[in-house]
């Protein structure tokens, strides 16, 4: 009791110093938390990756598509249970401000959501989506951010696929857990393909990537190799990898930034330690005579050490 | 060596005490072959030039430091054999300290400063309060109990320190230049208080001082020079 009283009185002995130390620590801890959140957010996409999903893409670059007919050949490979096309659309909603940016994918509407059980859909809404060629499913976060609701029309200006596109919201999918990202829009790849067929036929029948579902996650490497072998020496060789590796390959492009953020966040921690150590040292140095007096009076070294630690923490 | 015929049983018995310090790779001897007996109830003034070893001897008697050689008995107990932790307990029970610069805790008021040594005892809160109030009354600060050190004059702070030194009824009181930081009037009051505690309560006081006025308050004077005891003058009392 007396010890606590002494600690408390000493803490407020130099009010300005205590206040500034506290502010310094709070800012440093907040900065660390913020930086760690940025790093975690960076990896969020890979966190929701499933071990039972592979991504097959063009071996030359993600920029180059794969022929649509690969889908059936991939599906025939041993261990593969389902395949769905997925195509980055890259359209602009309203304007190019970051607040209005969200990912749009043209996907195989019949089975795409079967491959992503972490996207919780309403069966009626999913059915309505499947029936409407212009129908889209939007994630909960995206719907909340822009106020999208079933029946709304979302106008999007195409960039990779030029023209004005209009999508109709047919459903909102919910996240299964915190790692599930719900800030995307999924529409029919068939709709995209039909439009391409009509506008620029040479770009039709082509898919960005194939999402491959496998029965056994432990066979991912073997099946990936089998898929790539299937298309070796073809016009569009594939590079197949796990969904996590695929997501991390995007992060790898910005790895230096991530590394810098990580280093900065740890420097912040070092600063916290330095501030605490400096305050402890300054306090102890200033009060050596007091500690000596306490020891002379019979207070043991443990009491004095506890006093210093108590005032510092 | 005994400074004067012992009026009572010996309370401090020092035999062939030696102490040195190590400075870099050099041994610096401070005290050589000190033998001294201080009787119970005595008031000793330890005098000598700077560097003569007065404070070192006082620290050894008070159990703050340990000698390199020799025997040091306080109230029959050889404190050279005690561990650091045992010495801390021993100091709490047997030694009252008065320092030149008072060494009060600035965050504690006069009452709390005097109460400090009692926190190491098993006394109840009520008993502690009674004792502290009595001690502060004895040093004439009954009306300053809630004052913090920075609200007291130097003389008043030293009186609080004296109350703190006597509060736990220690076997010996050690005072290191207790008037060194005070004006003549305050110094006189402090010495008067020490003399009163010595005469009326029979407390044994060992005081290091350079002040000849302080020496006049002591019963005996012990001179140290270059780490050795020299003949002490005749007692005043």
- Side by side, the strands of the sheet bearing B228-230 are B95-98, B172-176, B204-208, B43-47, B220-225, B228-230
Distance spanning both ends of chain A, measured CA to CA: 17
B53-74 residue pLDDT tens: 999 999 999 999 999 999 999 9
Q: Which residues of A fall below an 8 Å CB-CB distance to B?
A: 2, 6, 9-10, 13, 289-290, 292-301
pLDDT above 50 (res B2): no
Q: Nearest CB to B64: which of A2, A289, A296?
A: A296
Q: In whole angstroms, give the CA distance from residue A283 to residue B165.
A: 26
Task: Measure Cα distances from A130 to A137, A153, B155 in Å.
Answer: 10, 16, 94
Q: Which domains does chain B have, with CATH numbers?
A: 41-63+83-230 (3.40.50.300)
**Contact at 8 Å (CB) between B97 and B55?**
no
Query: Mean pLDDT of all residues in chain B?
Result: 89
Alpha carbon of A293: minimum distance to chain B alpha carbons (Å):
7
The Cβ of residue A16 has, within 10 Å, a number of other Cβ atoms equal to: 7
Nearest to B92 among A2, A293, A298 (CB): A298
B43 vs B219: CA distance, rounded Å: 5
CA distance A292 to chain B (A): 9
Of B95, B103, B114, B171, which to mutate for an interface test with A (greatest number of A Cβ within 10 Å)?
A: B103
Q: Which of B107, B166, B174 should we substitute to test contact with A (largest number of A Cβ atoms within 10 Å)?
A: B107
CB A311 within 8 A of CB A303: no
DSSP for residue B234: P
Confidence of residue B6 (pLDDT cuts 50, 70, 90): very low
Which chain B residues have a beta carbon less than 8 Å from that of A307? none
- How far apart CA A52 and CA A275 sit, in angstroms, is 47
Residues 6+ apart with CB under 8 A from A226: A77, A78, A79
Residue A88 structure tokens? 């980055």
- With a pLDDT cut of 70, the percent of chain B lying above it is 94
Across the A/B interface, how many CB contacts are shorter than 8 Å?
48
B192: pLDDT strictly greater than 70: yes
Q: Collect all residues of chain B within an 8 Å Cβ-Cβ radius of residue A288.
A: none
**What does the pLDDT read at residue B73?**
95
How far apart are alpha carbons A47 and A175 in whole angstroms? 13
Cross-strand pairs, A184:
A103
Beta bridge partners of A136: A169, A187
* B:169-188 residues touching chain A, CB 8 A cutoff: none
Q: Which residues of A touch B167 (CB under 8 A)?
A: none
CB contact under 8 A, A297 and B91: yes
Q: What is the pLDDT of residues A42-98, one digit of tens each?
A: 777 666 677 789 999 999 998 899 999 999 999 999 999 999 999 999 999 999 898
Coil vs helix vs strand at A37: helix
Taking CB atoms and an 8 Å cutoff, what residues of chain A touch B117?
297-298
Nearest to A265 by CA among A36, A90, A59: A36
Encoded tokens for A199: 């506008």
Asked casually if ipTM beats, i.e. exceeds, 0.90, the reply is: no
Q: What is the number of helices (H) and of strands (E) in chain A?
A: 13, 12
Per-residue model confidence (pLDDT) at position A29: 86
Other Cβ atoms within 10 Å of B43 Cβ, number: 25
pLDDT of amino acid B234: 43
In this prediction, the residues of chain A whose per-residue pLDDT falls under 70 are 1-2, 45-48, 312-313
Question: Per-residue pLDDT tens for B195-227?
Answer: 999 999 899 999 999 888 888 889 999 999 999
Q: Which two tokens stand for residue A211?
A: 């999402």
| Chain B 104-163, residues with CB within 8 Å of chain A CB atoms | 105-108, 116-117, 119-120
């Amino acid at each position: 009791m007396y010890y606590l009283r002494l600690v408390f009185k000493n803490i407020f002995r130099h009010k300005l110093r205590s206040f500034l130390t506290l502010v310094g620590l709070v800012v440093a801890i907040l900065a660390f938390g913020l930086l760690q959140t940025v790093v975690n957010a960076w990896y969020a996409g890979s966190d929701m990756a499933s071990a039972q999903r592979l991504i097959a893409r063009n071996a030359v670059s993600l920029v180059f598509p794969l022929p649509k007919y690969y889908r059936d050949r991939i599906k025939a490979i041993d261990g593969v249970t389902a395949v769905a096309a997925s195509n980055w659309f890259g359209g602009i909603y309203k304007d190019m401000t970051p607040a209005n940016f969200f990912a749009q994918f043209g996907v195989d509407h019949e089975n795409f959501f079967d491959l992503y059980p972490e996207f919780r859909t309403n069966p009626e809404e999913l059915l309505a989506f499947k029936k409407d060629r212009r129908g889209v499913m939007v994630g909960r976060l995206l719907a909340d951010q822009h106020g999208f609701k079933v029946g709304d029309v979302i106008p999007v200006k195409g960039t990779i696929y030029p023209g004005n596109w209009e999508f109709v919201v047919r459903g909102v999918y919910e996240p299964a857990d915190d790692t599930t990202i719900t800030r995307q829009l999924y529409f029919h790849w068939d709709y995209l393909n039909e439009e391409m067929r009509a506008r620029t036929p040479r770009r039709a029948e082509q898919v960005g990537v194939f999402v491959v579902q496998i029965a056994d996650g432990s066979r991912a490497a073997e099946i990936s190799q089998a898929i790539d072998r299937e298309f070796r020496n073809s016009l569009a060789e594939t590079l197949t990898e796990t969904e996590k590796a695929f997501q991390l390959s995007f992060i790898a492009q910005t790895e230096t930034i991530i590394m810098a953020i990580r280093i900065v966040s740890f420097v912040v921690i070092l600063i916290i330690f330095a501030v605490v150590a400096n305050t402890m040292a300054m306090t102890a140095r200033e009060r050596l005579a007091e500690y000596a007096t306490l020891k002379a009076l019979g207070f043991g070294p443990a009491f004095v050490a506890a006093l210093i630690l108590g005032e510092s923490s | 060596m005994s400074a004067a015929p012992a009026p009572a049983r010996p309370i401090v018995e020092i035999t062939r005490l030696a102490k040195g310090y190590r400075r870099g790779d050099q041994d610096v001897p401070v005290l050589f072959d000190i033998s001294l007996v201080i009787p119970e109830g005595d008031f000793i003034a330890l005098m000598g030039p700077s560097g003569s070893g007065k404070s070192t001897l006082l620290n050894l008697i008070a159990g703050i430091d340990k000698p390199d050689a020799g025997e040091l008995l306080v109230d029959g107990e050889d404190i050279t054999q005690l561990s650091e932790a045992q010495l801390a307990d021993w100091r709490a029970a047997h030694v009252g300290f008065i320092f030149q610069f008072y060494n009060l805790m600035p965050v504690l008021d006069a009452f709390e400063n005097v109460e400090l040594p009692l926190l190491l005892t098993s006394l109840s809160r009520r008993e502690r309060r009674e004792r502290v109030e009595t001690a502060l009354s004895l040093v004439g600060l009954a009306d300053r109990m809630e004052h913090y050190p920075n609200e007291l004059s130097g003389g008043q702070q030293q009186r609080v320190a004296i109350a703190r030194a006597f509060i736990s009824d220690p076997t010996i009181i050690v005072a290191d230049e207790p008037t060194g930081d005070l004006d003549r009037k305050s110094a006189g009051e402090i010495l008067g208080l020490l003399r009163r505690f010595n005469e009326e309560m029979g407390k044994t006081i060992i005081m290091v001082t350079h002040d000849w006025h302080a020496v006049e308050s002591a019963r005996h004077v012990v001179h140290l020079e270059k780490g050795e005891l020299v003949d002490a003058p005749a007692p005043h009392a």
